[in-house]
Amino acid sequence: MADASAPPPALRTLIEDIAQKQNYNNPQLTITPLSTGGGNYTSELFLITVTAPGHEDLRLFAKVANVNGKIRDEGPITKCYETERFVYGSLVDIFSKIEEKNSVAVEHRLRFPKYYGCNPKLLEETIVLEDLGARGFDTHDRLKSIDWLYAATAVAELAKFHALSFAYQEENPEEFAQVIKERKFEFGSDERMKVMWEGMVREAVGACREESRARLAKYLMDNVKRVRDYYEPLRRPVLVHGDYRPSNLMHKIRPDGSVEMIPVDWQMVRAGCLATDLMYLIFTGSDAAFRASHYTALLEEYYRQLCAALRRLKLDPEAVYPREDFDYELEQSLPYGLLLSVFVLPLVTVEAANAPKLDKLMSYDDWKVKTSSVFSDRINGVVDDYVAWGIL
C-alpha cells in the first residue's frame, strides 16, 4: 500500500519542471506534507525546498487536489480548482497591469503569493506558490476571535480586491462580462442541497440555547431556498473572494505592531455582491464580543478603504459604487451572515482530530462534522445578534 503521506509522483514531476525553469540544475527536492489541523478540506498541502549549488534555497508551497469519487459530481469541486488556476494564471496579471497603469504605489497594491506553475490534469490538479510561511506569515488561530487591528487590515485588503474588480469592469467591460459569466457559482441539485441543509440545521439548532431553538429552526427551514440568492450580484456585480475567512488570510506582525496580510485560497472566486465577502469575514472570524464593539466601525472602515482604493485607480466612488448602494447591499446581505454561520462555523471551529477528510468521502451523504464547544458559543452569539437585529 502506498504511503498516504508520500507526495504524488505528478507533484515531484511538476516541481522538477519548475526547478529547471528557475535554473536550478540537478536540484535536491525535499517535499514535506503539511497539516492545517482542519483549516483546509479540498487539497493536500506540501512544503517544498529546492536546493542547488550556487542558488539560495527555493521555498515552495503546493496544493494538490484530494477530492475524488462521486463527491466530485455533487458539488463545484472541479470548478474550484480551475478557478484558482484562472486567478493565479490570469487575474493576477490583469490586476497588476491596472495598478501599474494607474501608478498605484507599491504599498497600496493587492498582494498575491508568487505563482510558479500548475498541473491542470483532472484528479491531479495542483497549484505551486511561494511558501509564505518561510517569510514569517501564518494563519490566524481559527478557534479565537479576530481583533480590531487584524479585522481592519483584512477589510483593507478586501477593498483593494473589490476596487480592482470595479476597475476591470470599467476598463474592459466585455472581457469582464465574460469572466463573471464563467465564474457563476454552481450549486448541486435541489435535493442534495436540501438533505445537506437539514443536517446542518439539526447541528445548529441542537447547539443553541433551548429558548432559541424553535425560532432558529423555523427561520432556517423557511429560508433554505434563499441561499442561492446570496450567490448572485445585486446592484452591480463584482468578483468576490467567496471564502474570505481567517484561515485564508496569511498575516504577520511587523516590528511596529502593524499587520501585513496576503489573501490566499482563491478557489471560490465568483461573480457576486461584495457585501457577502464582508459577511463571510465577520461571521466566520469574530465572536459576539467583537461584533458588539466593532461591527459598525468595521463596515465603515471597509467603505472608507474601498473609496480610497477606487480613487487610487482614478475612479469616483460616487459614480462607481455610491454609499447608498453599499448600504442597500449590506441590508440585503445581512441574513446571509446567519445562513453561512450554520454552514461554515462547524468547519471553522472543528477540533483538528474531528475535521472531515474529503479525500476519504465518496459522497456528501457521508459528510459529518462533530461540532465543538467553540461552535456552540459562536452560533449562540450569532443567534443573539440576529434576534437583536429583528431578523430572527
Whether residue 119 lies inside any domain: the answer is yes
DSSP state of 263: E
H or E segment to which residue 350 belongs: none
What is the mean pLDDT for each group of 10 consecutive residues in the chain (392 residues)?
Answer: 66 97 96 76 90 96 83 73 96 98 98 98 95 97 96 98 98 96 78 77 93 94 84 92 97 96 96 96 98 98 98 98 97 95 91 66 61 93 97 94
End-to-end CA distance of the chain: 52
Give the number of other CB atoms < 10 A from CB of residue 86.
17
Residue 105 to residues 96, 257, 267, 312: CA-CA distances in angstroms? Answer: 12, 22, 27, 9
51 backbone φψ class: left, alpha, beta (φ>0; ψ -120 to 50): beta
Q: What is the pLDDT of residues 96-149, one digit of tens each?
A: 999 999 999 999 999 999 999 999 999 899 999 999 999 999 999 999 999 999
Residues 36 and 61 sit within 8 Å (Cβ to Cβ): no
User: Is residue 117 classed as helix, strand or coil in its secondary structure?
Assistant: strand
Whether residue 3 lies inside any domain: the answer is no
> pTM for the whole thing?
0.94
Name the residue range of residue 289's domain: 9-134+141-388
Whether residue 1 lies inside any domain: the answer is no
What angle (nearest 5°) sits at the alpha carbon of residue 76, between those of residues 2 and 65?
25
Residue 77 has a pLDDT of 79
Q: What does the block give as the cell for 156?
A: 483593507
**Calpha distance 371→349 (Å, rounded):** 7
Residue 188 has a pLDDT of 64
Give the number of other CB atoms < 10 A from CB of residue 391.
13
Q: 140-154 b/e with 16+ CB inside 10 Å = b?
A: bebbebbeeebbbbb
* DSSP for 202-238, written as a single string: HHHHHHS-HHHHHHHHHHHHHTGGGGGGGGS--SS-E
Q: What does the block give as the cell for 92?
A: 493576477
**Calpha distance 62→47 (Å, rounded):** 6
The answer for residues whose C-beta is within 8 angstroms of residue 347's C-beta and 6 or more apart is 38, 41, 355, 356, 369
Residue 43 has a pLDDT of 86
Residue 94 has a pLDDT of 98
Q: What does the block give as the cell for 129?
A: 506558490
Whether residue 111 lies inside any domain: the answer is yes
126 backbone φψ class: left, alpha, beta (φ>0; ψ -120 to 50): beta
The answer for residues whose C-beta is within 8 angstroms of residue 61's C-beta and 6 or more apart is 34, 45, 46, 47, 48, 113, 128, 129, 130, 131, 132, 133
Q: How many domains does the chain have?
A: 1
Establish how many alpha carbons lie within 13 A of residue 116's alpha carbon, considering only the half-sphere containing its beta carbon: 24
Report which residue type is found at 104: V
User: Is residue 31 classed as helix, strand or coil in its secondary structure?
Assistant: strand
Whether residue 2 lies inside any domain: the answer is no
Q: What does the block give as the cell for 270?
A: 465568483
